[in-house]
Chains A and B, each alone.
Chain A
Amino acid sequence: MKPTSMGQAVLIAAAVLYLVSVFFLSSPIWMGFSLNALIIAVVALSWNVTGGFGGLFSFGHAVMYGTGAYASAVLQVNYGVNAWIGLVAGIVAGAVMGAFIGAITFRFGLKGSYFALVTLAFAEVMRICASSFAFTGGGAGLQVKLDPGISTLQFQDRTVSYTLLLLVVAAVMILTAVMKNSRFGAYLIAIRENEDAARALGIDTYRIKVIAMAISGAFGGLAGVLYLQTMLYIDSTVVYGNAISVEALIGPLIGGAGTVWGPLVGTLGLHLLGEGAKHLLSNAPGLNFVLYAVVLICALRFLPQGLMGFAARIGPFRKKEEDDDNA
């Protein structure tokens, strides 16, 4: 997680400074905004495990997010299960869903755009299923009862929610860094760079990719539960919709896929841009999306390795060979 250049250090410091400043801003707007951004950052970190390190571009990461959220909601609403157990169940359900998708798609050798389309299809199938069955609330969705307390994982004071979310994001980033620096991470990166070569070197690519999907699914499921506990209401479009899948991949792509800080930096940057555009153009709803899109296109065109990749080229303590991966 150590920055390799002055540029990266500045980016990371800016992100941390912003996250800390929320405690002192005493603004409900920024608090609400930051809570949402952090939940999306967890989904982005989830996508980063497979998309960033493994080169497995998913267009349907909402499938893990939604499965985690629904698993927890169904247990809490239909069976009165404690929210903390719901949290664990959501993480496990996300991991199982990830592993399942990985197992069947990689078994049939799907990769690249085929893999992306299959994940998209899975998310859509799950959306339709969730809106069809009675136990998932059908089209009306599921609503967790408002009952603030530690045991219900609901907090009246949003500063507490924010602190916990920050800790979760930090934990996910630490796990990502540990994974990246482990033998497993090296295998995954090797698969991203050249899967045939990795297999030729004796790496069980199928197993590694399925495990990566399971880890990614666990993070995605966790994000889904965090959303549920924040909003206390989910329906199929909200958690399995395309918007989540797009947000999951856009943060890492802008911030720097395959880096530890990239998804957080990208997600925060994009959300701040969107919020800034909204305030700047408050009299013309919708125009903020145009500005957002223009900046996004420019970023994708001129920053192919994301903000972290760009920042790696700035500053005195750069190590050229580690530019892309060491943050």
Chain B
Amino acid sequence: MQLFIGGTCAGKRGVVRQRFEEPRWHSAHARDRLEAWPSVADTACLVLEGWERWIGERLAAEPDDDRLRQAMVRELDALRAWEAERGGQAVLILLEMGRGIVPLGLENRRLRDLNGWLAQDAAARCERVWYVWNGLVKELSC
């Protein structure tokens, strides 16, 4: 599993497109639901993007941050299990959103916290982690 993380419009998608051949995209921006990824996993390379949207959609139904964090971790672990069983590769694209001012609204504060934890949990499970900045990419040491 590999993680690409960077800020808004940092060029994350372009970097992933250059590095992986014909991956299958599973995207919250195309209204794909996170938990539906196994239905499109008949591929060698699966890119999952829009994690902040997937978190945002779950905030209202799960008021407990720890439980929501664990639910996201279960998806990460399921992706790792899929890789091990099927020899596929999962590529995660995450948005860096934790470097601004603390948001005024509770929902946005929860979103920002959960997105940050997800990035830590994902990085801990990835073989390689990449930081995308202004269209350039640098490997972060794990």
Same complex origin of A and B: no
